[in-house]
Amino acid sequence: MARFGLAALAALVLLLICNAVEKTPRLPEPEVAQAYGPRTVQRIEFSAFSDLSSLVQDLNYTEETWQAGQREVPRLLMTRIPERFAEVTVKEVTVEEKKNMFFRMVLPVLLTANEEIEAEREKLMQIKAELEEKGFPGADNLRQLRRLAKKYEVPMDGDVVSLNLVIETLERRIDVVPPSLGLAQAASESGWGTSRFAQEGNALFGQWTIGGKGMVPEEQRASKGDYKVAMFKTPLGSVRSYIRNLNTNAAYKEFRKRREAARAGGKPLSGSTLARTLTKYSERGADYIEDILSIIKSNRLSILDRSYLADGDVYELLPVWRSEG
């Protein structure tokens, strides 16, 4: 993958800082440490859609390179959905350009969350191997197992039989979501990043929260109780919550069973195949599934199920805006 040249990067950052009137803070801890790890972070501010277009061109991260077979994705992390994204994209770009940029910005966030889950799954496999070899995990692995069980909502006792059942359940729950599925659902639920919930609360998947802090829908239905749309500090927080929802909620048990079966059969995970299990994700049921499948097919997203993050720097993207006039 072509590198974003240091001179070009410096010029872009200087230009954007000079034009900025509003700045976004860095990702809050502990998201920084977990998402970035030991990697070098390049902080890039952007104030127009064209700035993002220049960046993806310089990183050789375009629709053309995708269709040509490139699967490596730069570690771009948007710190928040720009509040003026809907307004700006309507004026500056075509619908197709907006859609393509949305996918380019959300894909690395999805892959980052999946990468974290893959690390958890690897740890779980180590614990499983130790249990099979020694009959009981060591103290550190037992602590790690309790942490994973709590996170993925699996009851845990201390006997060996229970531990085997816990690990079996966690194997089903600690697994990734195909990027094509996550991208299609994010596009549908957030209006390609232009919805009020996306811009005010980084909410990409329309998740509800009951009685807690969130954004009140304009047409809140009393029959559904005191629900709100959940808010997140960053898009990464929204993606993590979405994946955890699919991995733990009883409504998506069939999703997890179908994914497990694919793993057992040595088949690659397919967003289109797994999408068909999510009839309970939306009140629209089968019509919603058809919409998701249509987004995957029409935008040729299935090829992205084989994508992976580049082993390099993290590009932290901060939206800023030029002064009016």
CATH number for the domain spanning 223: value is: 1.10.530.10
Claim to verify: residue 94 and residue 145 sit in the same structural domain: no
Among 156, 173, 190, where does a domain finish? 173
20-24, 180-184, 245-249, 292-296: lowest mean pLDDT where? 20-24
**295: domain range?**
6-114+176-319
Residue 19 burial (CB count, 10 A): 16
pLDDT of residue 28: 45
Claim to verify: residue 208 and residue 310 sit in the same structural domain: yes
Q: Which of 58, 117, 47 is nearest to 84 (CA)?
A: 47
**Residue 14 pLDDT grade (very low, low, confident, very high; cuts 50, 70, 90):** very low
Residue 40 burial (CB count, 10 A): 8
3-state SS of 135-198 is CCCCHHHHHHHHHHHHHCCCCCCCCHHHHHHHHHHHHHHCCCCCHHHHHHHHHHHHCCCCCHHH
Sequence-ordered list of residues with C-beta below 8 angstroms from that of 57, at least 6 positions apart, any chain? none
Claim to verify: residue 229 and residue 283 sit in the same structural domain: yes
Residue 240, token pair as written in the block? 């993590």
CB-side neighbour CA atoms (13 Å) of 148: 30
- Top-confidence residue, 142 or 15: 142
Contact 152, 260 (CB under 8 A): no
Q: Does the residue 132 lie in any domain?
A: yes
Beta strands in 23-131 (DSSP E): 41-46, 72-78
Claim to verify: residue 186 and residue 94 sit in the same structural domain: yes
The whole-angstrom separation of Cα 13 and Cα 324 is: 20
Q: Does the residue 201 lie in any domain?
A: yes
14-28, 47-61, 161-175, 214-228: lowest mean pLDDT where? 14-28
CA distances to 220, 226, 258, 313 from 276, rounded to whole Å, are: 28, 29, 10, 36
Claim to verify: residue 142 and residue 30 sit in the same structural domain: no
Residue-averaged pLDDT of the chain: 84
Claim to verify: residue 301 and residue 240 sit in the same structural domain: yes
Claim to verify: residue 86 and residue 203 sit in the same structural domain: yes
Claim to verify: residue 110 and residue 95 sit in the same structural domain: yes
Contact 314, 33 (CB under 8 A): no
Q: Does the residue 61 lie in any domain?
A: yes
Q: Which of 194, 190, 174, 172 is nearest to 182 (CA)?
A: 190
pLDDT of residue 22: 36
Place of tokens 């999946």: 114
Among 137, 157, 173, where does a domain finish? 173
Q: Does the residue 256 lie in any domain?
A: yes
Claim to verify: residue 156 and residue 12 sit in the same structural domain: no
**Residue 68 pLDDT grade (very low, low, confident, very high; cuts 50, 70, 90):** confident
The whole-angstrom separation of Cα 1 and Cα 319 is: 24
Residue 226, token pair as written in the block? 């005191």
pLDDT of residue 76: 95
pLDDT, tens only, 89-115: 666 788 888 899 999 999 999 999 999
pLDDT of residue 23: 38
CA distances to 11, 60, 81, 272 from 317, rounded to whole Å, are: 15, 17, 10, 30
Q: Does the residue 167 lie in any domain?
A: yes
Claim to verify: residue 62 and residue 190 sit in the same structural domain: yes
Q: Does the residue 324 lie in any domain?
A: no
Q: Does the residue 280 lie in any domain?
A: yes
Q: Does the residue 130 lie in any domain?
A: yes
For the chain, give the percent of residues with pLDDT over 70: 79
Give yes or no for residue 31 having a pLDDT over 80: no
State whether the Cα torsion 184-190-194-198 is positive or negative. Answer: negative
Angle between helices 235-248 and 179-190 (to 10 degrees): 110
> Rounded to 5 degrees, what angle do the CA atoms 65, 82, 211 make?
120
Residue 304 burial (CB count, 10 A): 23
Contact 131, 167 (CB under 8 A): yes
Q: Which amino acid is at 61?
A: Y
Among 129, 149, 173, where does a domain finish? 173
Q: Which amino acid is at 325?
A: G
Claim to verify: residue 165 and residue 194 sit in the same structural domain: no
pTM given for the model: 0.86
The whole-angstrom separation of Cα 33 and Cα 2 is: 26
**Residue 186 pLDDT grade (very low, low, confident, very high; cuts 50, 70, 90):** very high
Q: Which of 34, 99, 100, 28 is nearest to 64 (CA)?
A: 100
Residue 35, token pair as written in the block? 């998402």
Claim to verify: residue 140 and residue 225 sit in the same structural domain: no
- Top-confidence residue, 35 or 274: 274
- The count of domains in the chain is 2
CB-side neighbour CA atoms (13 Å) of 204: 31
**Average confidence (pLDDT) over 251-263:** 97
Q: Using the 8-state DSSP alphabet, how is residue 250 labeled?
A: G
